[in-house]
Amino acid sequence: MEDAQFITERQGAVVSTNKVLRNTYLLLSMTLLFSAAMAGVAMAIEAPYMGWLPLIVAFALLFAISKMKNSAWGILLVFAFTGILGFSLGPIVNAYMQTAGGTTTVVTALSLTGVIFLSLSGYTLVSQKDFSYIGGFLMTGVWVVIGAIVLSLVGGMFGFHISGLQLAISSAIVMLMSGLILYDTSKIIHGGETNYIMATVGLYLNIYNLFVSLLHLVGFFGGDD
């Protein structure tokens, strides 16, 4: 009797996990397309670079999403969140497109982002490996990167620039986002994340930061920076 109950509970957990996984990738696909469309709008109207404003608004929306994650409003807020971040990419991509070889730089960064995400996420799904053990390492890496960014900003305010720091930050972010793709995908399939809205936001941010950092790296080695 206990064995039958265990099997039933196990089957229920698998069904629930598959549902979260399916909804996550469906919503992620839709938000990525919407984000790309908003970036296209920003490029078409030649929107100016808006500095920290989109990030501040996006951070506020992220807080609201966490509060509304169990309602339909949460889905609408996710589209607003990804739309704003997508729109903020438009001026950045336009700047690269106006340089020599800019189209190649953007296409290469976009292609690498897709390959990295699909490879790492696909590997985790197929292998069913639990990558929860790298959570502490990733969190430490995030704080190190934040510290480096703050150092770079403070240095810039005083006219002091550390050679290669921006390149090092972008390289570190690429590695961190790659690790987070493994970690976040693993959390979904092992029941660590049961809300598909929050799972979507996490994976979207991984992809977004990965693309921006790869854009910087490809542009740098391609001679665009």
Percent residues over pLDDT 90 in the chain? 70
Q: Copy the structure tokens of residue 115.
A: 């390959």
Model confidence pLDDT, tens digit, residues 51-98:
888 889 999 999 999 999 999 999 999 999 999 999 999 999 999 988
d(CA 41, CA 3): 57
Q: Copy the structure tokens of residue 117.
A: 């995400």
Task: Judge whether 42 and 91 are in contact, CB under 8 Å.
Answer: yes
Percent residues over pLDDT 70 in the chain? 88
Question: How many CB atoms are located within 10 Å of the residue 98 CB?
Answer: 9
Of 46-50, 147-151, 160-164, 205-209, least confident by mean pLDDT is 160-164
Going by the DSSP 8-state scheme, the letter that residue 130 receives in this structure is: -
Q: State CA 51 to chain mean position distance.
A: 19
Mean pLDDT of the chain: 88
d(CA 199, CA 208): 14
Question: Any idea where the domains of the chain sit in the sequence?
Answer: 2-221
Model confidence pLDDT, tens digit, residues 114-132:
999 999 999 999 999 999 9
Taking CA atoms, 57 is separated from 84, 85, 86, 99, 203, in Å, by: 8, 9, 13, 29, 19
Transcribe 157-179 into DSSP letters: HTT---TTHHHHHHHHHHHHHHH
pTM for this model (two decimals): 0.89
pLDDT of residue 17: 85
Question: Residue 165's closest CA among 179, 155, 157, 176?
Answer: 155
Q: State CA 65 to chain mean position distance.
A: 16
Q: Copy the structure tokens of residue 137.
A: 């390492």
pLDDT of residue 163: 61
d(CA 23, CA 38): 22
d(CA 159, CA 142): 25
pLDDT of residue 6: 44
pLDDT of residue 116: 97
> Is the model's pLDDT at 141 over the cut of 90?
yes
pLDDT of residue 9: 47
Average pLDDT rounded to a whole number, residues 142-162: 78
Q: Copy the structure tokens of residue 87.
A: 């729109």
Q: State CA 104 to chain mean position distance.
A: 22
Res. 160 pLDDT band, cuts 50 70 90: low
d(CA 31, CA 46): 22
